[in-house]
Structure 1
Amino acid sequence: MYPGRRTAAAALGTLCAATVLTGCLGFGGDPDAGTNGVAKLPPATVEQKAKTAAETAPTVRLAGTVISKGQSFRLDMRLRDNGGVGEVTTKGTTFQLLRVGADLYLKAGADFYGDAGADKNGKAAAQKLDDKYVKVPTDDPAYKQFSGFTDKKVLLADLFVLDGDLKLGDHRKVGDTRTVALNGTKGGSLDVSLKGTPYPLRYQRAGNAGTLTLSDWGEEFTLAAPNKSSVVDYGKSVTTK
């Protein structure tokens, strides 16, 4: 061994000996060093802090897959208290949703309207709706079904349904952000940020019923009704597949 290498090795050995209680080369140290400290709190407190952070944030982006009543939905929605905008995919079809206050708009291709294209007149009607916004009547079943995908309060409420008792799990990462897992003993897991505000960053539903990621907390985005020229009046109901 060259003298310089012996000197470096000796110095490294001295450093390791001096830091043996915290671990040499970074191993064995405090996993919560430099975090917001929530991983040291009781599970119920972690849940409450994450819930408060989510409820008070003005905006969030929610993306992922959920399975509801046997049907799979892939979501990519930006949400705020008075509405939301984004895409939903189900049964191989993607459509856009936009809600501003109580007004819900849907935009999709002609094939989305299913039976509307069964005859010549129906096909003509479906083509008229192709890639246009349709204002969904509030008393239409589609309004109740789809408006929930644009409702921040409704969607975030589902994040805090962890089955069984709460327990803190492993330290993990969502993207580049360190998290701690909050697990339900009978299913479900929530990753809570260990950086800054303890926002929920990922929700894994019990029974492999989907995973949602949450990002862009508090980031502003444009939410406005579409131009009247882009809106088509469908009538009293919206017929879909």
Structure 2
Amino acid sequence: MPRRRPRRAALVPATCALAVTGAAVLTGCGGGGDPDAGTNGVGKLPAAKIQAKTRAAADAAAAVRLSGTVVTSGRTYQLDMRLKAAGGSGSVTSQGATFKLLRVGRQLYLKADSDFWQQAEGKGGDGAAGTLDGKYVKVPQGDPAYKKFSGFTDKDVLLDGLLTLHGTLATDGHHDQSGTRTIRITGDKGSGGTLDVSLQGTPYPLRLVRAGDAGTLRFTDWGKDFAVTEPAKSETVDYGRQLPTS
């Protein structure tokens, strides 16, 4: 009679077959697997080439959704913006106040409630908060608020300022972002920022940790179009002078 194979030996292949977590396949029980198997291949490139490819992919994409925090000039902004060449829309929260931004072409609108406008006007305000409450307020291009907030709605400007790591670039292993396999690149071992790049399909950036604790951002809906249209006249106010900025 043939000798029976030990049961323990028979279980080894089954155990290896179950070694799957989410979308990322572990590199095998013997450690000899290829973590880049079945990917777009950018994980095998030097960090500088990965950054160049992800920048090119981001620039070529028709649209993107960006969410998370940005710290600039000592102030923290919570963003949830959708961006494309023709404009952008979304919400911004800062110092407990939330407002919406909409840019159609070169025209920027800001929409907020009366509490926001009262806070912006301060004690010396002219009482216009009630008129502006819940309306899309046109922001003149010469207004300081235009320069301050239009960048949050401009895909090219915003990504150019964000997707550059500082210092010496290096790769920092394979990771996972919401079920998508990624390769992580760092600047100066993380002190110059970290960026997770998709290993599936187009090598889009998926998650950015900015240098100097300047915020963390996620990038989703790459290439997914959305409508950017002028608000109705009944919902629009032309303030006609410099907006209050506190």
Give TM-score, length-normalised by structure 2.
Answer: 0.87
2: CA distance, partners of 1:94 / 1:232: 19
Asked if 1:102 corresponds to 2:101, the answer is no
Match of 2:8 in 1: 9
Structure 2, unmatched stretches of 5+, are 17-26
Is contact 2:86–2:228 with CA below 8 Å preserved after alignment? no
In structure 2, what residue type is equivalent to 1:205?
R
Go from structure 1 to structure 2 and tell me whether the alpha carbon gap of 1:219 and 1:115 turns closer, same or farther (over 3 Å shift).
Answer: closer
Residue of 157, 160, 171 corresponding to 2:160 = 157
Moved over 4 A (4+): 5-8, 13-17
Secondary structure of the residue aligned to 1:49 is: helix
Match of 1:212 among 212, 217, 240: 217
Matches within 5 A, 1:21-60: 23-24=28-29, 28-60=32-64
Question: Does residue 136 of the first structure (1) align with residue 135 of the second (2)?
Answer: no
CA change 1:110–1:16 in 2 (3 A) is closer
| Distance across 1 between alignment mates of 2:93 and 2:120 | 19
CA distance in 1, matches of 2:231, 2:98: 19
- Deviations 1:131-177 (CA, angstroms, capped at 9, x unpaired): 11100011100000010000000111123321111101121111111
Q: Is the 8 A contact 2:166 2:211 kept in 1?
A: yes
Please list every run of 5 or more consecutive structure 1 residues that lacks an aligned counterpart in the other structure. Answer: none
- 1:112 maps to 116
Compute the RMSD of aligned alpha carbons.
2.3
Cα distance change, pair 95–10 in 1 and its aligned pair in 2 (3 A): same
**One-letter amino acid of the structure 1 residue matched with residue 146 of structure 2:** Y
Do the aligned residues in 2 keep the contact of 1:187 with 1:206 (CA within 8 Å)?
yes
CA distance in 2, matches of 1:45, 1:38: 8
- Written as runs of structure 1 = structure 2, the 5 A alignment for 1:221-236 is 221-236=226-241
Structure richer in helix, relative to its length: 1
SS, match of residue 54 in structure 2 = helix
User: Structure 1 13/202 Cα, relative in aligned 2: closer, same or farther at 3 Å?
Assistant: closer
Deviation at 1:23, TM superposition (A): 3.4
Q: Return the alpha-carbon distance in structure 2 between the equivalents of residues 95 and 162 of structure 1.
A: 29
* Contact 1:193–1:201 under 8 Å retained in 2: yes
Identity of aligned residues (%): 56
SS in 2 for 1:169: strand
